[in-house]
Structure 1
């Protein structure tokens, strides 16, 4: 059974590398980014680069969508007419339950024989690769688990309607990206007076078993690498909470902080070299904005 990746960024590449090492067969990929950004990486992993999304959908029995939350529905719409009969379409994107259901409705509306797996990725793909924990629902969940488990993948099938796995992921993201926003805000503020290390030392002294320094710097580094995407994912968390009747008070505040970080990063001439430099850049940006506002 051949696997087609739609989107071939960091996560897809790590999963493909692990599957290849574990003995998986033919794989193909397409990414909307310029070919120089991903083609050579795909070829090094033994993944055949495709010229279009339609080519991947038509050639593969299994489709893994690993794009962005915003692109999940458009990708499904573009892929659906080209999917093979009885294909397995697995959406790995970090989306709200309503978006996961919409993707399933799209692909099954065009190709009723398609099996749909709504996948929640429950940890950072890097460095776990294809062994990252997955929780899956949808009528294709069991088929996806049967496909991936022989390669050492951790796949939990969640019974019930599509959306449960996504809600599980969103509630987890509310905590982790909320912490990310909190660490960014507190530590960049501390950095304005050179106190970041003192804050981290104090946190570790208060909670020595919890390794808060390590967690803080890990989350800040992830933000440095993927600020815009992570802001959007926290926005998805807010939408999810609102859709089930919860006011996303903390998630909304966290989103504003992550969105501000993404704005700062976009306006820098170069990406900061590490988490420490990223905190300094954020501190400088906030100090400058405060001075310009005259308050």
Structure 2
């Protein structure tokens, strides 16, 4: 098994480092920054540590490998696939680990399929420096089965989503709505709590509310409860925004939440459910779709 990398940044380096420890000896990489003075030493050091042979062109990688991990910025994903397509060997497994959109993944997959390659949309679902090659990976696309069969022997943690390119990335990007959004909410909440010198009281109160239930239970309760009381809660958020504005704290997260909840209020879910709280979040989402 000969593994290639197009782009040898942190993600590729961490994967390769872990795979080396698992006995994968044949790895080759190309990085367009390798000959730039500002990055050359870093890339050379990484390749040496990971036991990866650096080459001067992406074509050299594709001529040698059975499987290639393409780790380039999301906005370069489609362009890179077009550049690589003429040099792709039949049957090569092309694994795209970028965070580009599902639509872009489908276009990349079409490029690879034209050359009779096997495409994999791979979404890495954890920090590479912590997990290295064992990072949980969701994979989709028609090359997924080969990817799993080949790389699980080296300890990679891969779960198949489907045969459809883009499905794995969709999970990652949708998950990011929460992971990135909640980080922004935390910052806004902590800025306010610190400004009013009530950090401990706020954190303790939230901990008591949230820690007693699972994530799914909390999510269900908040979505169904807010659907029922959306009008009142949007007004409450208006008070929060006014308070933050009065002490010059950025209230953009609260404003966005207020806008979302106001839209929910416009759906009249309380009336549709005759004043009773929906039992499950799915009822709220389905009601939203009908309204649209």
Match of 1:123 in 2: 126
Q: Distance in 2 between matches of 1:99 and 1:48?
A: 30
1:141 paired to 2:144: yes
Q: Distance in 1 between matches of 2:256 and 2:120?
A: 32
1:94 paired to 2:99: yes
- SS of equivalent residue, structure 2 residue 122: strand
Match of 1:161 in 2: 164
Q: Distance in 2 between matches of 1:30 and 1:190?
A: 48
Choose which of 151, 156, 174 in structure 1 pairs with 2:154: 151
- SS of equivalent residue, structure 2 residue 162: coil
Matched pairs, number: 214
- Once the two structures are TM-superposed, the CA of residue 64 in structure 1 deviates from its matched residue by 0.1
Q: Encode CA deviations 1:148-203: one digit per residue, 9 max, x unaligned.
A: 11111111122342222222222212111111222233335556677767755654
- SS of equivalent residue, structure 1 residue 158: strand
Contact 1:131 1:154 in 2 (8 A): yes
Match of 1:289 in 2: none
Choose which of 50, 58, 61 in structure 1 pairs with 2:55: 50
Match of 2:110 in 1: 105
User: Where do 1:124-273 residues align within 5 Å?
Assistant: 124-188=127-191, 200=203, 203-204=206-207, 206-208=209-211
Q: Distance in 2 between matches of 1:38 and 1:196?
A: 44
Q: Distance in 2 between matches of 1:8 and 1:166?
A: 21
- SS of equivalent residue, structure 1 residue 5: strand
- SS of equivalent residue, structure 1 residue 85: coil
- SS of equivalent residue, structure 1 residue 32: coil
Q: Encode CA deviations 1:106-161: one digit per residue, 9 max, x unaligned.
A: 2222x1x2111111222222301111111211111101001111111111122342
Residue 149 and residue 195 in structure 1: after superposition, are their counterparts in 2 closer, same or farther (change >3 A)?
Answer: same
Q: Distance in 2 between matches of 1:97 and 1:118?
A: 9
Give TM-score scaled by structure 2 length: 0.65
Q: Encode CA deviations 1:50-86: one digit per residue, 9 max, x unaligned.
A: 2222222222221101122112112212211112221
Contact 2:25 2:51 in 1 (8 A): no
Residue 174 and residue 36 in structure 1: after superposition, are their counterparts in 2 closer, same or farther (change >3 A)?
Answer: same
Q: Distance in 1 between matches of 2:47 and 2:199?
A: 40
Contact 2:97 2:124 in 1 (8 A): yes
- SS of equivalent residue, structure 1 residue 135: strand
Q: Encode CA deviations 1:215-249: one digit per residue, 9 max, x unaligned.
A: xxxxxxxxxxxxxxxxxxxxxxxxxxxxxxxxxxx
Larger Rg: 2
Q: Encode CA deviations 1:5-60: one digit per residue, 9 max, x unaligned.
A: 11222221111111110111211122233322322111111111122222222222
Q: Distance in 1 between matches of 2:27 and 2:82?
A: 22
Contact 2:17 2:49 in 1 (8 A): no
Match of 1:72 in 2: 77
- CA-atom RMSD in angstroms: 2.8
- Once the two structures are TM-superposed, the CA of residue 204 in structure 1 deviates from its matched residue by 4.1
Higher RCO by CA contacts (8 Å cutoff, separation 6 or greater): 1
Q: Distance in 1 between matches of 2:202 and 2:85?
A: 51
Residue 167 and residue 59 in structure 1: after superposition, are their counterparts in 2 closer, same or farther (change >3 A)?
Answer: same
